[in-house]
Structure 1
């Protein structure tokens, strides 16, 4: 009984850590731009977010750490990738976005008497206070903050389903799946999966569970609870967006769309409810990710950098960066995520099926090929036409890196000779 209760509490906490700024504003937007075909975009979004989360937690829990996953492509390559991911997860992108979204959706619709600088100081001051003791983070979120968040979200979604705002626009389905994938990447949930998994397992240990296999099993069950919650909430929010597809187009900002939907459903009281939802969604994410990022850099520096000092630095830097605003942070994030997400997905999937991939060179050359195509995708998106990448298989689904990854893996398997193998051959020859 206690075990099940602990799994549910950690699952709720995990849901809140993942359900932050992007998770709230992206589903209504893909629903609005998809209209009657909102399920197509929704499927892409869920695969790129929940699917990757569950695969990554499974891989990391079994491998022991995220470095044991990405490091298979080379120690320096894996460490560089992980550091970049954690910086994006932390002070550069995700954590600042939580404060920016809270300001734009919780504060501005209600009052203009407080500016973003003052708000960000208050937001990250509270984050600092609630993050400074890492062993308490999951309980604070899971027991107290998540239930409030879920109740508020449930009320908004049920109202939107029972009393739709408008008709669903008949939209062409071309490109909607890829759009959903792209928006799913933008949530950036999978970036810090190594630190999140470590935090989950550490939380179970602090509750007295010492068997590592049991901890891994409990972590995976908690992840399933969080994943199920995310899918249900995403579906509800995407449908709400679809109900206003005849009223707005893609020129409306994502935050403004969510405010307008809530206002149409519940009026002024709805704006207050939205403020509560956003505040708790973003605060729980900020607390969880600040803890995860600080713990990661403390560990990677062999405790030369202190957890409390890192928490303070992350809060101060994020406080400054959050004043860029949501749209600018999203614009900065897009090319970075396009580069690092595919190679991360590749290494996670290969790690899960590692019994089929024995040679390190297979991981390396698959990763290098994926990274190369991802960089070309970004260059192409900036207006430098690189036509051949559009002719690669699965390009329409956003997976044009898959064939190059397979080719890279085959080169690593059949052409590249491992150093150890060469040394053995030399000894035999001698």
Structure 2
């Protein structure tokens, strides 16, 4: 069979959406809506480019390359190994997986604890149960569509739909005013907000599992698998657009009703409580629980499958248990410490990841052998310097004060764009002209 049925294609797209859609994806859009107010549609335009476009392009890029190793190998084989390892560890057990448990606990359990309850013990029990479920489901990564596509994703969408419809039918207010930079440059601010989701890094991980699920449905020819992964990416992107739009609308109404809010969580909590009372807190808790569980399952599956391939001495089952257990421990005991390391690492590897993704769609980059190495080198050096200089890890005379005092914080994250373009141009002109065979 060379293609999936329409139904199976939708299931795979839903599965991909659910693997992406975690707590961060729930928090950013309502905050955008609350801050942008009447300019929410413009802010959403910019947000969609980076929060939806980059991740979907990432999935498609890895599918066409064959794997993340092969894509990163266009720079250098050693870079491919180190870069891929950093991505799987930073987006997996060192950051995203532990946070799924801690975030869902804060939203789904903490609001119902009494003052004298032992939060530490309850959180430990919760995290054991949470990771036990995630571990069990991740034992069959090739069958994730059976659970995520058919059950948990539809349930999550229904719950979000209830919140949106409630806000649509009985809004406590209209859209509020725009605040801060959202009032001045809503499209740019939305673009930068979407950039901060860093979902493009997760996209580089998920291709391996989506391909397995497509294979499990009878499509095994490589070109057909690539085509189906591309279809899944566009389906997931369309779902993202609808869901992000709905949640941003909820946030915009919350901003109109309650004024400027601290974050997206505050916006969602305030409006669900207003619309549904205590049942609204239950609704919101279930939304966060399902979103975090889906992402956790997807990440454990991806990480365990990858490590079972590069270190086959241990099976996928053993790696899944290891990642679930380590993440459970970190979520209870050392999350703050591990975040202090993993978040800066993510800040360093995210720019080169984006450059890799974008270059993969330019055939000319592969025909000039220095384009990939120089573009990634210039990007990586810039992102490392910016993170170290602005994160308090080191002081670079003149540069640190310039970055901190003269450049807005949110713009610093895009300082790599100029050096990346310089690297691409140098790589193009310094590379020997491609031979007729290469062309």
Which range, TM-score by smaller chain?
A: 0.7 to 0.9
Higher mean displacement: 395-404 or 405-414: 395-404
CA 1:146/1:52 → structure 2, altered by over 3 Å: closer, same or farther?
Answer: same
Higher mean displacement: 2-11 or 169-178: 169-178
Rounded to whole Å, the distance in 2 between the matches of 1:290 and 1:157 is 30
2:201 to 162, 173, 191: 191
CA 1:264/1:324 → structure 2, altered by over 3 Å: closer, same or farther?
Answer: farther
Rounded to whole Å, the distance in 2 between the matches of 1:288 and 1:157 is 26
Rounded to whole Å, the distance in 2 between the matches of 1:290 and 1:323 is 18
1:336 to 330, 341, 345: 345
The answer to whether the aligner puts 1:407 opposite 2:422 as a matched pair is yes
Correspondence 1:44-123 to 2 at 5 A: 44-112=46-114, 113=117, 115-123=122-130
Structure 1 position 224, deviation (Å) = 1.1
2:177 to 154, 169, 174: 169
CA 1:70/1:99 → structure 2, altered by over 3 Å: closer, same or farther?
Answer: same
Rounded to whole Å, the distance in 2 between the matches of 1:28 and 1:84 is 31
Structure 1 position 176, deviation (Å) = 5.2
CA 1:213/1:39 → structure 2, altered by over 3 Å: closer, same or farther?
Answer: same
CA contact (8 A) 1:22 1:186 kept: no
Once the two structures are superposed, what CA deviation does each residue of 1:304-340 show, in whole Å capped at 9, x if it has no partner? 2321111111111111222369998877654333221
The equivalent residue for 2:20 is 18
Structure 1 position 263, deviation (Å) = 0.9
CA contact (8 A) 1:104 1:255 kept: no
Rounded to whole Å, the distance in 2 between the matches of 1:390 and 1:356 is 37
Rounded to whole Å, the distance in 2 between the matches of 1:58 and 1:263 is 40
CA 1:386/1:81 → structure 2, altered by over 3 Å: closer, same or farther?
Answer: farther
SS at match of 1:352: coil
CA contact (8 A) 1:48 1:185 kept: yes
Rounded to whole Å, the distance in 2 between the matches of 1:380 and 1:272 is 43
CA contact (8 A) 1:186 1:330 kept: no
SS at match of 1:190: helix
Structure 1 position 102, deviation (Å) = 0.9
**Could you tell me the TM-score, scaled by structure 1's length?**
0.87
Structure 1 position 348, deviation (Å) = 1.0
Rounded to whole Å, the distance in 1 between the matches of 2:205 and 2:109 is 31
The answer to whether the aligner puts 1:139 opposite 2:149 as a matched pair is no
The equivalent residue for 2:275 is 265
Once the two structures are superposed, what CA deviation does each residue of 1:334-359 show, in whole Å capped at 9, x if it has no partner? 43332211111111111111234422
Rounded to whole Å, the distance in 2 between the matches of 1:397 and 1:165 is 37
CA contact (8 A) 1:131 1:290 kept: yes
SS at match of 1:244: helix
CA contact (8 A) 1:20 1:281 kept: yes
Higher mean displacement: 404-413 or 318-327: 318-327
CA contact (8 A) 1:12 1:146 kept: yes
Rounded to whole Å, the distance in 2 between the matches of 1:211 and 1:70 is 23
SS at match of 1:72: coil
Rounded to whole Å, the distance in 1 between the matches of 2:269 and 2:93 is 26
Structure 1 position 194, deviation (Å) = 3.7
2:310 to 297, 300, 309: 300
CA 1:152/1:62 → structure 2, altered by over 3 Å: closer, same or farther?
Answer: same
Structure 1 position 411, deviation (Å) = 2.3
RMSD: 3.0
The equivalent residue for 1:424 is none
The answer to whether the aligner puts 1:226 opposite 2:241 as a matched pair is no
CA 1:318/1:349 → structure 2, altered by over 3 Å: closer, same or farther?
Answer: same
Rounded to whole Å, the distance in 2 between the matches of 1:296 and 1:84 is 12
The equivalent residue for 1:282 is 292
CA contact (8 A) 2:34 2:254 kept: yes
Rounded to whole Å, the distance in 2 between the matches of 1:239 and 1:335 is 32
CA contact (8 A) 2:42 2:186 kept: yes
CA 1:330/1:249 → structure 2, altered by over 3 Å: closer, same or farther?
Answer: farther
Unmatched 5+ stretches in structure 2: none
CA 1:44/1:88 → structure 2, altered by over 3 Å: closer, same or farther?
Answer: farther
The equivalent residue for 1:426 is none
Rounded to whole Å, the distance in 2 between the matches of 1:29 and 1:325 is 28
CA 1:254/1:328 → structure 2, altered by over 3 Å: closer, same or farther?
Answer: farther
Rounded to whole Å, the distance in 1 between the matches of 2:18 and 2:388 is 35
SS at match of 2:199: coil
